[in-house]
């Protein structure tokens, strides 16, 4: 699930309008850099667990794991963490469809968990993710990697690894398309002043 509170933003297909701010090669470079930063910060791939936040955080987490494996030769456990039931706006909307939560077999206790999401916006998704993680186990540390940070935080939350800082206005929408889900890679800004 994306970081934006607007549900329409997730449902509209990645189509016309808006402008592309990152293409597939920009995304690939950003993910490679994030992967190296994670390794540098963690001093290797030991005890790392990558958890993607559905839906688009999950393929991003897999791609980061592939890059880490290519650099270090170690396979990093990858999973997904659905935050739907922990959202603070659960009561305000019709009951949402749940997404997959898959915790790798080794669990998260004592590990360094890197949460991976596509767009960091209000920070509420990440707050929900931290609550969800709390029910799964007790990691040694939790870090946050996002492809795009668009600002406008509503909670004291910040990302450790950022693909691109993208100053936006509140009326704009940031849409990530990803090959595994949408058929192609790209980040677009839609809406707002054209």
Partner 1 sequence: MKRHLLSAADLSRDDAELVLTTADEMRSLADRPIKKLPALRGRTVVNLFFEDSTRTRISFEAAAKRLSADVINFAAKGSSLSKGESLKDTALTLEAMGADAVVVRHGSSGAPHRLAHSGWVRSSVVNAGDGTHEHPTQALLDAFTMWKHLGESKPGGLEGRRVAIVGDVLHSRVARSNALLLRTLGAEVTLVAPPTLFPVGVESWPVETSYDLDGVLPKADAVMMLRVQRERMNGGFFPTPREYSRRYGLDARRMATLQDHTIVMHPGPMVRGMEITADVADSARSVIVEQVTNGVAVRMAVLYLLLGGAEPAVGGEE
Smallest distance, Å, CB 128 to partner 1?
Answer: 10
Closest to partner 1 by CB, 63 or 127: 127
By rule CB under 8 A, what count of residues binds partner 1? 21
CB atoms under 10 Å from CB of 110, counted, come to 12
Binding region for partner 1 (CB under 8 A) out of 70-78, 89-97, 118-126, 140-148: 89-97
Helix ranges (DSSP H) in 73-171: 124-136
1 neighbors 55 (Cβ within 8 angstroms): yes
Closest to partner 1 by CB, 128 or 189: 128
Binding region for partner 1 (CB under 8 A) out of 39-47, 91-99, 165-173, 175-183: 91-99
Is beta strand 141-149 parallel, antiparallel or unpaired with respect to 161-165? parallel
50 neighbors 77 (Cβ within 8 angstroms): yes
Helix ranges (DSSP H) in 44-149: 57-72, 124-136
Smallest distance, Å, CB 159 to partner 1?
Answer: 25
Smallest distance, Å, CB 104 to partner 1?
Answer: 12
Is beta strand 78-80 parallel, antiparallel or unpaired with respect to 48-52? parallel
Considering only residues 1 through 20, tell me which ones interact with partner 1, judged by CB under 8 A.
none
The Cα 144–Cα 142 span in angstroms is: 7
Considering only residues 129 through 158, tell me which ones interact with partner 1, judged by CB under 8 A.
131, 135-137
Contact positions vs partner 1 (CB under 8 A):
82, 85-86, 90-103, 131, 135-137
């Amino acid at each position: 699930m994306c970081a934006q509170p607007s549900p329409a933003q997730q449902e509209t297909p990645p189509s016309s309008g808006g402008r592309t701010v990152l293409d597939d090669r920009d995304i690939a470079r950003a993910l490679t850099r994030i992967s190296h930063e994670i390794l540098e910060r963690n001093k290797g791939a030991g005890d790392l667990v990558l958890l993607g936040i559905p839906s688009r955080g999950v393929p991003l987490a897999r791609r980061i794991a592939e890059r880490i494996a290519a650099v270090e030769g170690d396979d990093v456990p990858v999973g997904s963490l659905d935050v739907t039931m922990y959202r603070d706006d659960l009561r305000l909307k019709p009951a949402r469809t749940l997404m997959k939560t898959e915790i790798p077999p080794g669990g998260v206790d004592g590990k360094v968990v890197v949460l991976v999401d596509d767009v960091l916006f209000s920070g509420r998704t990440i707050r929900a993710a931290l609550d969800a993680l709390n029910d799964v186990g007790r990691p040694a540390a939790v870090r946050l990697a996002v492809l795009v940070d668009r600002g406008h935080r509503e909670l004291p939350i910040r990302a450790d690894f950022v693909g691109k800082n993208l100053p936006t206005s509140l009326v704009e929408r940031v849409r990530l398309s990803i090959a595994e889900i949408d058929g192609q890679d790209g980040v677009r800004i839609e809406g707002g002043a054209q």
